[in-house]
Structure 1
Amino acid sequence: MTDAGPPDADEAAFAEAVRAGDPAQFALVTERHRRELQVHCYRMLANYEDAQDLTQETFLRAWRKRESFKGHAAPRTWLYRIATNACLDFLDKRNDRTPVPSELPAAELPYLQPYPDRMLPEDPQESAVARETIELAFIVAVQHLPPRQRAVLVLRDVLGWPAAKAADALELTVASVTSALQRARVTMREQLPDRRLDWRSPATHELSQVERDVVKSYIDAHERNDLDRLTSLLRDDLRFAMLPDPGTVITTAKDSVDGWVSGGLFQPGCDDWRCIATTVNRMPAAALYLRTPGDPAYRLLNLAVLHIAGGKIAELTGFEVAGKPWLGLPAAL
């Protein structure tokens, strides 16, 4: 399968690095693809640290297989093919990464991790669709698919590859790819009933003013220990999860806050908060810092990732994020 269009400067530099057999030169020309390949691996695996590892594995495999690059496909396509198959090999070996049963929700993915926006690709074309294909709901929905259906969906519907190109990358027939895509789309519609399912047309990735205002109010309620204000920000059919603990709770706003209080939050010794507004997965989020008695500093505790609908928090996914420097959050304030 040959990519359409004449070779560009990137392809020429890549071909020269392959011919030269110089690892430093090869690393230089492949490095420019790191961010988009890492997002690709994350969509396949739902785990930032695994995506980092598999991106590095992609570059190692590319170096070992460099002589197989004949210029019939663009370097970017060739690298995506290697990355996809590296992820499939990883999934084949991990018994704990089997597809999530259709009836189980997001919090049944204890390995789910947030993706720092600062590490997303800078390419405007990728950014145009990044929000709807990087949000937690999408990432979780993809994990309900068997690995090869997952790969087909991402290559065809997210990257926009034609069926023949995806079939070549996965060593499948076009008919198999078409069938897998149809089944994958059915599952995605079941998992994302209220979300847009056409990811090929542009979509904004900026937060709305409403989202910014809700995050600001959420932070203010924490720092003031204003439980009434916090309750008013939550929808009465809130979906709450605290990873890696299993189980999504669908609960009322009052029951949610009462449950947090009964668990010790907002009680003496656990009521001195400072928060930072941030974004992960192109979603609004708040990093929560707690100062305990006798400690002069506020320590990073959790990250609350918010899905906001109709001016209220419809989904709140909490992550334990202490010791995860790749998020770019200070460990203490």
Structure 2
Amino acid sequence: MATAHLLTRARAGDGDAFRELTEPYHRELQVHCYRMLGSFQDAEDALQDTLLSAWRGLAGFQERASLRTWLYRIATNQCLKALRSASRRPAREWNIPGVEPPEPTRLGEVAWLEPYPDALLEGAIDVPPGPEARYEQTESISLAFVTALQALPPRQLAVLILRDVLAFHAGEVATMLDSTVEAVNSALKRARAGLQRRWPPAADREPPPASGSPAEGAIVAKFVNAYESADLDALVALLTDDVFMSMPPIPLEYQGRDVVAAFCAGILGSGRKFDLVPTRANGQPAFGAYSGASTGIRHGTGLFVLTLTGDRICAMTRFDAGVLPWFGLPRSLPSR
């Protein structure tokens, strides 16, 4: 009854009623847009476009589906529109003076990838996905998963997220995309195969320690100690043999302990001193990195996100310092 009353008021032009109706879905819709677009900023833009479109089109909501499903339909189509028309943020050149990076293993294709603050995940990924979901909610927000999604064609991407992550029924997805159940099932089959090539199941890899557990805390503490003290040997000892390092929007990517060690040697051997401030991104441990003279202001240089397996680090992703405010981190730290 309360929802029906709010809907009536909203259709009559009551903006407060509309906000009350839609606010419970803001976070999960933003996460949905983030999975589709791979960019925190683009996801926020898509969410605002979704809410504006829903406000303008509320008279056409015929309640054949739930309000949540209707909003997901709008959000998905806003993201598809963005994927068709957007000029993605371009890759940037190496920008750390005084450090010459080693030859990369390859060049990354997802230069627009951005991290998603864990502080915004509360109430967004703990929504029960239903029995048909193929992926754990925390797994489906990880950087590796979101990166792999970006390689899929837009409609396959939308179908896979709606079916395998959010567990909407095929008929619901067909309605959202103005398609047929047969077309949805065909797109899902191709999307699963495409994702498998980019993100194979880590059957032989140990699962990461639980978030906030003593085991996770132990790895994190060792990483911080090694990085802040520029102890390359201690840092390399934490890495898996096949460790992967990337740094969007710089496209350089490194695979394997030796080449990642060579990269870290250049950074840690440059004479810079670093302080790491803990946070969390994409369900993973993360750190704001600050550098400067020990007696002066330390400026933010970037954000590290770690991917863990067992008691080791299997991936490190570095983002530009511009993302620090999204995590409530300052752009600089005061003098000690």
TM-score band w.r.t. shorter chain: 0.7 to 0.9
Equivalent residue for 1:325? 325
Equivalent residue for 1:174? 181
Matched letter for residue 244 of structure 1: P
The question of whether the paired residues in 1 share the 8 Å contact of 2:116 and 2:281 is answered with: yes
Deviation string 1:122-146 (CA, Å, 9 cap, x unpaired) is: 2574388431110011101111110
Shift of 1:14: 4.2
RMSD: 2.5
* Cα distance in 2 between the residues matched to 1:20 and 1:204: 51
CA 1:123 to 1:244, structure 2 compared with 1: closer, same or farther past 3 Å?
A: closer
Shift of 1:67: 0.5
Equivalent residue for 2:231? 226
Equivalent residue for 2:193? 186
The alignment partner of 1:172 has SS state of coil
* Cα distance in 1 between the residues matched to 2:311 and 2:124: 30
The question of whether the paired residues in 1 share the 8 Å contact of 2:230 and 2:268 is answered with: no
Shift of 1:324: 4.4
* Cα distance in 2 between the residues matched to 1:121 and 1:235: 31
1:259 aligns with 2:263: yes
| TM-score, with structure 1 as normaliser | 0.85
Equivalent residue for 1:35? 27
The alignment partner of 1:65 has SS state of helix
Equivalent residue for 1:101? none
| TM-score, with structure 2 as normaliser | 0.84
The question of whether the paired residues in 2 share the 8 Å contact of 1:36 and 1:121 is answered with: no
CA 1:28 to 1:329, structure 2 compared with 1: closer, same or farther past 3 Å?
A: same
Unaligned ranges ≥5, structure 1: 1-7, 98-103, 197-202
The question of whether the paired residues in 2 share the 8 Å contact of 1:219 and 1:276 is answered with: no
Which stretches of structure 1, 4 residues or more, deviate above 3 A after TM superposition?
A: 104-107
* Cα distance in 1 between the residues matched to 2:106 and 2:112: 13
* Cα distance in 2 between the residues matched to 1:64 and 1:44: 23
2:79 is matched with which residue: 82, 87, 100? 87
Shift of 1:12: 2.3
Equivalent residue for 1:300? 300
Unaligned ranges ≥5, structure 2: 90-104, 130-135
* Cα distance in 1 between the residues matched to 2:107 and 2:163: 24
Shift of 1:326: 1.6
The question of whether the paired residues in 2 share the 8 Å contact of 1:207 and 1:283 is answered with: no
CA 1:121 to 1:77, structure 2 compared with 1: closer, same or farther past 3 Å?
A: farther
Shift of 1:206: 2.8
* Cα distance in 2 between the residues matched to 1:324 and 1:232: 28
CA 1:189 to 1:120, structure 2 compared with 1: closer, same or farther past 3 Å?
A: same
2:50 is matched with which residue: 23, 46, 58? 58
The alignment partner of 1:246 has SS state of strand
* Cα distance in 2 between the residues matched to 1:106 and 1:142: 17
Equivalent residue for 1:210? 215
* Cα distance in 2 between the residues matched to 1:214 and 1:205: 12
1:240 aligns with 2:241: no
Matched letter for residue 155 of structure 2: R
CA 1:123 to 1:48, structure 2 compared with 1: closer, same or farther past 3 Å?
A: closer
Shift of 1:173: 0.5
* Cα distance in 2 between the residues matched to 1:190 and 1:105: 17
Q: Once structures 1 and 2 are overlaid, which stretch shifts more, 177-186 or 279-288?
A: 279-288
The question of whether the paired residues in 1 share the 8 Å contact of 2:274 and 2:291 is answered with: yes
% same residue: 39
Equivalent residue for 2:143? 136
1:25 aligns with 2:17: yes
Deviation string 1:252-309 (CA, Å, 9 cap, x unpaired) is: 24x42333333x54433x1x2211222100012222111147x622222121111112
The question of whether the paired residues in 2 share the 8 Å contact of 1:106 and 1:137 is answered with: no
The question of whether the paired residues in 2 share the 8 Å contact of 1:219 and 1:277 is answered with: no
* Cα distance in 2 between the residues matched to 1:145 and 1:112: 14
Deviation string 1:184-205 (CA, Å, 9 cap, x unpaired) is: 1111222221347xxxxxx997
* Count, aligned residues: 308
* Cα distance in 2 between the residues matched to 1:121 and 1:17: 29
Matched letter for residue 224 of structure 1: S
